[in-house]
Copies of this chain bind each other. A is one copy, B any other.
Amino acid sequence: MRNVTPDNISEVFAGYFGDDTDPRFKEIMSALARHLHEFTREVSLTHDEWRAALKAMEWAGNITTPERNEFVLLSDVLGLSSLVDMINSPDGATSSSVLGPFHVSDAPPMQIGDDMKRHYPGEVLLVQGRVQDLDGNPVPFSKLDIWQTAPNGLYSSQDPEQDIMSFHGLMTADENGYYGFTTVRPVVYTVPTDGPVGSILNAAGRHPWRPSHLHFIIKADGYRDLVTEVFPDDDPYLDQDTVFGVREDLVMCYEQKPSGTFPEGFAISGKVNEAYLAVNFDFKLVAK
């Protein structure tokens, strides 16, 4: 188009595609350009603001490494990662939530009843529940990939002082879909703030905190994978998770249990005489 104008630029853009372009690619790119054009017009973006945005992207590129991806973090704090999770979360299933950057692909195996906290100190948290289908029937032998922060707020991959793979474990539920393990309470932590995302949060008057959570990936034959997090109902950041990961059905209660009541059947049974925390969380998977 010889005469591109602010009003026709989205149409001109859409007209540039080749006839044999993949229809889905064309749909996505046309919609992306159109929405970015609408944004630019709506706020009457200036050259200085456009340059500042490009500088932020350049900075994000410079700070990104295989271990730390600032573009994922930008997507997280803009709510895009959570929105993609939500719109791809099937009806009736447990909500999905952000995967985050700390998942490892080779977590150590754990048996039902094992102690994920190993030698780390802190009040015992007993976590158990069932993996079920949408009708509440057990999904037997599903695989649960579980990870969380150590008491210092760091994941093992962030912390050279921790044991290798501490607070990571891969468990197989039993024939009734039951899983159970002990750990300590995960803690709140901040997303990295030394890059452009930190600057954006700062300029927005936003804190970088996430509420504490346990991460789970649950896989079972014949069911869609579930990537999710579960949050305690007394966390101070539940209402303002900086990456928008909290869904109502992922909030659980850590129940305070009196000393002398710790149940049998766990690796640490008989060794726990103090009060402890207990939580029950059932997962619902949707068939493929």
Instruction: Check if A82 sits within 8 Å of B18, measured CB to CB.
Output: no
Instruction: Check if B3 sits within 8 Å of A28, measured CB to CB.
Output: no
Residues of B near A88 (CB, < 8 A) are 44, 46-47
Total chain A interface residues with beta-carbon distance under 8 A: 78
Residues of B near A72 (CB, < 8 A) are 54
A54-B37 contact given A3-B247, A9-B83, A87-B44, CB 8 Å threshold:
no
Within 8 A of B (CB), among A38-80: 38-47, 49-50, 54, 57-58, 60-62, 64, 69, 71-72, 75, 78-80
- Secondary structure at the A interface, as helix, strand, loop or mixed, is helix
Q: Does any Cβ of B come within 8 Å of A2's Cβ?
A: yes
Distance of A61 Cα from B42 Cα, bound (Å): 28
Could you say which of B42, B87, B239, B244 contacts A45, with CB atoms under 8 Å apart? B87
Instruction: Check if B13 sits within 8 Å of A78, measured CB to CB.
Output: yes
Residues of B near A57 (CB, < 8 A) are 57, 60-61, 71
| Copy total for this chain | 2
Instruction: Check if B83 sits within 8 Å of A41, measured CB to CB.
Output: yes
Q: Does any Cβ of B come within 8 Å of A234's Cβ?
A: no
Residues of B near A33 (CB, < 8 A) are 78-79
Distance of A111 Cα from B246 Cα, bound (Å): 66
**A-B contacts, 14 listed (Cβ < 8 Å):** A2-B238, A6-B86, A9-B79, A26-B204, A32-B78, A33-B78, A36-B78, A40-B84, A41-B87, A45-B87, A47-B88, A58-B64, A58-B71, A61-B61
Known: A12-B244, A57-B57; 13 extra A-B contacts, CB below 8 A, are A2-B239, A3-B246, A6-B87, A10-B79, A13-B78, A13-B79, A16-B240, A31-B43, A44-B88, A47-B85, A47-B88, A50-B81, A54-B69
A residues contacting B by CB (< 8 A) are 1-6, 9-10, 12-13, 16-22, 25-29, 31-33, 35-47, 49-50, 54, 57-58, 60-62, 64, 69, 71-72, 75, 78-88, 200, 203-206, 238-242, 244-248, 251
Which 8 pairs show the lowest CB-CB distances between chains A and B? Answer: A18-B205, A61-B61, A35-B39, A3-B248, A57-B71, A35-B35, A21-B205, A50-B84
